[in-house]
Amino acid sequence: MRNIRRLVFLFAGFEPHAAEQQRSRFDYAAKQTGRLWNSSFEVGALRPGPHGCAEFHVKAHGPGWTAQTDLVVCDWSDFIVALQGQNPVRRFFSGLAALASFAANGTFLRYCGTSWRYGVFFVIPLILILCALLPLGLVVFGGGAALAGVLLSALFLWLFNDRLYLTQTLDNWRFARAASLGNDPGIENRIALFKAAMENRIADFNADGGGEVVVAAHSLGAYFAVMALGGVLAQAKPEQPAPGLLLVGSSLLKIALHPSSVRLRENVAEIARSDAHWLDVQSMTDLLNFYRADPVATLGLAAKRQPVLQFVRFRAMLTPQTYRRIKFNWLRVHRQFVLAAEQRTNYSFHMMLAGPFRLAEIMEHRGLPQEFVAAAHFKGPEA
Dump pLDDT digits (tens) for 2-37: 999 999 999 999 999 999 999 999 999 999 999 999
| Residue 382 pLDDT > 70 | no
The residues, ordered by sequence, that sit 6+ positions from 381 with a Cβ below 8 Å of its Cβ are none
pLDDT of residue 138: 85
Which of 53, 77, 6 minimizes the C-alpha distance to 219?
Answer: 77
Model confidence band, residue 376 (pLDDT cutoffs 50, 70, 90): confident
Average pLDDT value for residue range 277-286: 97
Whether residue 170 contacts residue 90, with contact meaning beta carbons closer than 8 Å, is answered with: no
Positive or negative, the Cα torsion across 69, 267, 286, 361? negative
What is the torsion angle, in degrees rounded to the nearest 10, for the CA atoms of residue 327, residue 328, residue 332 and residue 333? 50
| Residue 126 pLDDT > 90 | yes
Helix (H) or strand (E) holding 5: strand 2-11
Average pLDDT value for residue range 325-342: 96
Length of the chain: 383
Q: In whole numbers, what is the pLDDT of the chain averaged over residues?
A: 95
Distance CA 35, CA 99 (A): 43
Model confidence band, residue 380 (pLDDT cutoffs 50, 70, 90): low
Distance CA 76, CA 188 (A): 12
Which of 251, 281, 284 minimizes the C-alpha distance to 363?
Answer: 281
Whether residue 248 contacts residue 217, with contact meaning beta carbons closer than 8 Å, is answered with: yes
| Residue 145 pLDDT > 90 | no
Average pLDDT value for residue range 63-86: 97
Classify residue 14 by its DSSP letter.
Answer: S
Distance CA 353, CA 34 (A): 13
| Residue 383 pLDDT > 80 | no
pLDDT of residue 372: 95
Average pLDDT value for residue range 43-58: 93
pLDDT of residue 142: 83
Distance CA 164, CA 330 (A): 8
β-bridge pairing 278-282 and 308-311? parallel
Model confidence band, residue 139 (pLDDT cutoffs 50, 70, 90): confident
- Report pTM: 0.96
231-259 core/surface letters (b: 16 or more CB in 10 A; e: else):
bbbeebeeeeebbbbbbbbbbbbbbbbbe
| Residue 186 pLDDT > 60 | yes
Average pLDDT value for residue range 319-339: 96
| Segment 79-125, tens digit of pLDDT | 999 999 999 999 999 999 999 999 999 999 999 999 999 999 999 99
Distance CA 186, CA 232 (A): 19
pLDDT of residue 140: 78
| Residue 144 pLDDT > 90 | no
pLDDT of residue 379: 63
Percentage of the chain beyond pLDDT 90 is: 90
